[in-house]
Structure 1
Amino acid sequence: MFSSLVLAATLAAAPAPRSAASAQTVVHVPRLDAMAGLSSFLERAGNHAALLRPSAWRAELHPFLVIDPTKPETLASAGLDAAGPATVSLRDDGRVSCLRVKDAKVFQEKAAEAISAAGGEEVKPTTSKGVTTVSVKRSAGGAMGYALKGQEVCSFGATDTGGPALLKEAVKLVGKAPAQDARLGKLPGVAYLTSGGTVLGLDGTSSALKVEGTAAKLPLPPFQARSTSPYGTMKSEGMLFSRVAVAPAGVSQAVGSLRATIQAVCPACPREQVQSMTDAVAKQLTGNMLVNMDNVQVRGSLRAPESRFFAVRQALAAEVTDAAAVKSALTPLGRFPGAKALADGWALAVKGGNVFVRLKDKQLVVGNDEAVTQATLAALPVTSAKLERAADFSLDPKKLARGLNQVSLADVLADEQLAALFAVSSELGPLLEQSERITGWMDSAPGNAHRFSFTWTLPAAK
């Protein structure tokens, strides 16, 4: 009984987007007049990243009308309700934009003017079963039009072959009340975006963007919140600082990822011994881990595995249940080519640098830079503390921007992944340079998914 009431309350509060079938991406705004804070952040951020500038995406809100959610008069002049919802569905054959009408006569007049101005044929509305429809061909190809019933209108812009299908979809969308989307109801926000297995809720102020969402199939292990963490009191000082509690089922996955990376930079290390050694260590890990990425120093082409590995100066710490058992499991490391014994562990010379493996009480620390490894060891606290989430992180955007700027043109031309980094640097680098901090958290969610949140902070507006 109680669970049924909770479910009913969730559905009642959930947004109800008029989403087109087969949409690849859907943007839903429950109330257009509630976007002032989010728009103010995007306006400021857009001064440094053109992609985020509201003027760059306002044209995507409607197939033929020019509207601006931050200026209610543009909606009113088109006969639309500034306090109503908006849903934009992107499909292979075009897009559908559903809004609420305040004055149907004004909307039809403005729509006819806009369609004609956009190269459409003569607008001839037809009405059947209470639904008024318009569908015209464009001189540039494709079709555009709308379906209007009562206060609901869904407009479309279609590719060469998508006109009939999108007209039919628009008629269907205005013909019935939209269903609540419980996924959106679980997320705070004034605007929502769904794409594939990712759902985002967005809100903001002039100085901060808040994003919360869920995503499936992220290349991350499952997380599990714990009562305390040995890293609970540690503070971030580098480029990226993250404290995580990996679920037991994800420990082997996390260790396997590190093992593959080290094996790539040390092909001479005996594969079977590396496997058995890391498997033994994985059995002793509690799941509490720390990632400390200090900065980026690119030396050589990032197409080489060793250059990628040593480009980010970092150290990883992991809590162990039995330090003596871990030390015993790691003993074969001392016989690897290039290995050197240290007072508290080993240094392994590999192509491009050294890998440091060190033990401090019940903390195993693996790093690719001596100074960062030593600093991480020195900062390990004596007492544990509770973490609010299974994983949290803090990112210094200025250090990240400087790191992205080190990707060379030669690497960009030869590697798709590096080309993507270059694109991020070009588009967001100037904004990162002007940002204060990016912080967030992550938890596991049902269905092998993850829930996450982050806040992107700009300096206080002057």
Structure 2
Amino acid sequence: MLALALAATLAAAPAPRVAASTVTVLHAPQLDQLQGLNAFLTRAGAYSQMLNPEAWRGELHPILQLDLGKPEVMEAQGIDVTGPLTVSMRKDGRIACTRVKDAKVFQEATANVLARNGDVKAGTVKGVTTLRAPSATGGFGGYVIKGQEACAFLSTDSDDALRKEAAKLVAQKAPAADARMAAVPGVLFVSTKDGVVALDGTATGLKVEGTAAKLPLPPFQTKGTSPYGAMSPAGLLFARAQVAPTGVAQAVESVADAVRTVCPTCPAEDVKAVTDALAKQLTGQVLFGVDSVAVRGSLRKPEVRFFAAKQALAAEVTDAAAVKAALAPLAKFPGAKALEDGYAMEAKGGSVYVRLKGKQLVFGNDSTVTQTLLASLPEKGGPLKRAVEFTLDPKKLARGLSQVSLMDVMGDERLAAFFGASTELGPLLAKSDSITGWLDSAPNGAHRFQMNWSLPEKN
């Protein structure tokens, strides 16, 4: 039954006509299904120029301006809006393939645009019509059309490779279906060698779902219930995860790396001994929370980055007594202070806390956040449908990102992405209602994910 369902899904949507040597593919199975997504992007574009359709509309087609929110305008250009759009982005340019409803109207519309940059050359051989003209960028633009299939191209140089590739694409009677796109729901797909993302939306919400092959995350598994399943989300980030046994050591090592960063004088062998012993006691059930962000100093310093996000992590253990024994070496660490239920350790930029409550081990970098998490841990668990479920508070995220300064970016290029996100997405995040999502493991070490971004009903 599963094979039949997959086959039916693959056959239902028009397959993408993808050019050889393509780096990124943009595919819409039906152009007239993009109005909801366009509505979200238009609203979001009032606060983020990057998302504004006006900013990237010209990239959808090498010749024509496609207005995704107005199917009637695309029909007036001769395009069949019930058909697909596939954009193949290559290093030497791009090719956009569409189905045409009126070949004469389409040819006239494209010829008028091409004529602006110079002499237009046209020809028809064996039912295949080609139009080509110099482009403003120094290469060539044009289209190849056969029957109802048209592929427009724009090259960055004088090579004729894109025109030849476009001719091959229109000659395809039935392009191969893309199983990765068929596996995720959406109206617009972005695909690379490392994964595929599907988008859909309305005026008040964006849904993103996809698969990725190279996320820096451990493998997960779905157990159905979690000791943190009944907890209510709070703070900037609230994430519950079920790490697979094969990924526990990887997850623990990431915590150990953080300890080494802020405590370079901590004995390396003892850090490894503690983390190795703890890894053997963890069930894989994890809760991670970030309450807020407060930057104290330059983010170019690793200890400032570590303590900027007020965070705590809880992990379920199998044997509390064994964990207590495994933590004993911490008492000898520089700046360590024994607590009734664990240890507090002084570090560069602040203090870290390791505390044990029943079968819950809690690690945090802020006393209040750590204590709040300890107090909120429930006695009974609850269902968890996905291996990872998370909630983001967009307003708190916007405030956090706004604390990345231009001077920090100039001194550390790794912070450029955060500064760019603050500049480009910060105003939109501040106007958003919520961001939620989930992750699961997928075959061959990949991950599947979904994110839902909600805007208020009114601006």
Same topology, TM > 0.5: yes
Show the counterpart of 2:308: 311
Task: Say whether the 8 Å CA contact 1:398–1:432 is kept in structure 2.
Answer: yes
Shift of 1:391: 0.3
Residue 146 of structure 1 pairs with residue 110 of structure 2: no
CA change 1:6–1:77 in 2 (3 A) is: closer
Cα distance in 2 for residues equivalent to 1:264 and 1:133? 61
Residue type at the aligned position of 1:171:
A
Instruction: Give the stretch that moved more between structures: 165-174 or 105-114.
Output: 105-114
| Fraction of identical pairs, as percent | 60
Residue among 155, 165, 168 paired with 1:169 = 165
Residue 22 of structure 1 pairs with residue 21 of structure 2: yes
Q: Show structure 1 runs of 5+ residues with no match.
A: none
Task: Say whether the 8 Å CA contact 1:241–1:293 is kept in structure 2.
Answer: yes
Instruction: Give the stretch that moved more between structures: 15-24 or 286-295.
Output: 15-24
Deviation digits for residues 53-87 of structure 1 (CA, Å, limit 9, x no counterpart)? 11111111111112212112321221111222111
Shift of 1:386: 1.4
Instruction: Give the stretch that moved more between structures: 239-248 or 132-141.
Output: 132-141
Cα distance in 1 for residues equivalent to 2:46 and 2:68? 19
Residue among 195, 202, 206 paired with 1:198 = 195
Correspondence list, 1:11-410, <5 A: 11-13=10-12, 15-117=14-116, 119-121=117-119, 123-138=120-135, 140-162=137-159, 164-176=160-172, 177-410=174-407
Cα distance in 2 for residues equivalent to 1:298 and 1:229? 33
Deviation digits for residues 228-258 of structure 1 (CA, Å, limit 9, x no counterpart)? 1100011111000000000000000000011
CA change 1:335–1:228 in 2 (3 A) is: same
Q: Secondary structure at the match of 2:238?
A: strand
Task: Say whether the 8 Å CA contact 1:41–1:206 is kept in structure 2.
Answer: yes
Q: Secondary structure at the match of 2:189?
A: strand
Shift of 1:105: 1.1
Cα distance in 1 for residues equivalent to 2:13 and 2:31? 16
Residue type at the aligned position of 1:120:
G
Residue type at the aligned position of 1:165:
A
Task: Say whether the 8 Å CA contact 1:15–1:184 is kept in structure 2.
Answer: no
Q: Secondary structure at the match of 2:307?
A: helix
Q: Secondary structure at the match of 2:456?
A: coil
Task: Say whether the 8 Å CA contact 1:104–1:151 is kept in structure 2.
Answer: yes
Shift of 1:136: 2.3
Instruction: Give the stretch that moved more between structures: 100-109 or 137-146.
Output: 137-146
Residue among 426, 436, 444 paired with 2:423 = 426
Cα distance in 2 for residues equivalent to 1:4 and 1:75? 36
Cα distance in 2 for residues equivalent to 1:261 and 1:348? 13
Show the counterpart of 2:409: 412
Task: Say whether the 8 Å CA contact 2:319–2:359 is kept in structure 1.
Answer: yes
Deviation digits for residues 307-330 of structure 1 (CA, Å, limit 9, x no counterpart)? 011000000000000000000011
Deviation digits for residues 112-152 of structure 1 (CA, Å, limit 9, x no counterpart)? 111012x132x232111221112222354100111100001
Cα distance in 1 for residues equivalent to 2:402 and 2:44? 19
Task: Say whether the 8 Å CA contact 1:203–1:209 is kept in structure 2.
Answer: yes
Q: Secondary structure at the match of 2:22?
A: coil
Q: Secondary structure at the match of 2:96?
A: strand
Cα distance in 2 for residues equivalent to 1:116 and 1:69? 25
CA change 1:77–1:6 in 2 (3 A) is: closer
Cα distance in 2 for residues equivalent to 1:204 and 1:120? 40
CA change 1:230–1:4 in 2 (3 A) is: closer
Residue type at the aligned position of 1:198:
G
Cα distance in 1 for residues equivalent to 2:66 and 2:39? 16
Cα distance in 1 for residues equivalent to 2:305 and 2:136? 51
Deviation digits for residues 199-223 of structure 1 (CA, Å, limit 9, x no counterpart)? 0111011100000000011100000
Shift of 1:161: 3.7
Q: Secondary structure at the match of 1:290?
A: strand
Cα distance in 1 for residues equivalent to 2:18 and 2:330? 57
CA change 1:442–1:139 in 2 (3 A) is: closer
Shift of 1:6: 4.3
Cα distance in 2 for residues equivalent to 1:112 and 1:101? 15
Shift of 1:369: 0.2
Task: Say whether the 8 Å CA contact 2:311–2:365 is kept in structure 1.
Answer: yes
Q: Secondary structure at the match of 1:255?
A: helix
Q: Show structure 2 runs of 5+ residues with no match.
A: none
Deviation digits for residues 282-339 of structure 1 (CA, Å, limit 9, x no counterpart)? 0000000000100000001111111011000000000000000000011000111100
Q: TM-score when scaled to structure 2?
A: 0.98
Task: Say whether the 8 Å CA contact 1:69–1:82 is kept in structure 2.
Answer: no
Q: TM-score when scaled to structure 1?
A: 0.97
Task: Say whether the 8 Å CA contact 1:95–1:158 is kept in structure 2.
Answer: yes
Residue type at the aligned position of 2:320:
A
Instruction: Give the stretch that moved more between structures: 58-67 or 311-320.
Output: 58-67
Task: Say whether the 8 Å CA contact 1:120–1:139 is kept in structure 2.
Answer: no
Cα distance in 2 for residues equivalent to 1:138 and 1:293? 50
RMSD of the TM alignment (CA)?
Answer: 1.2
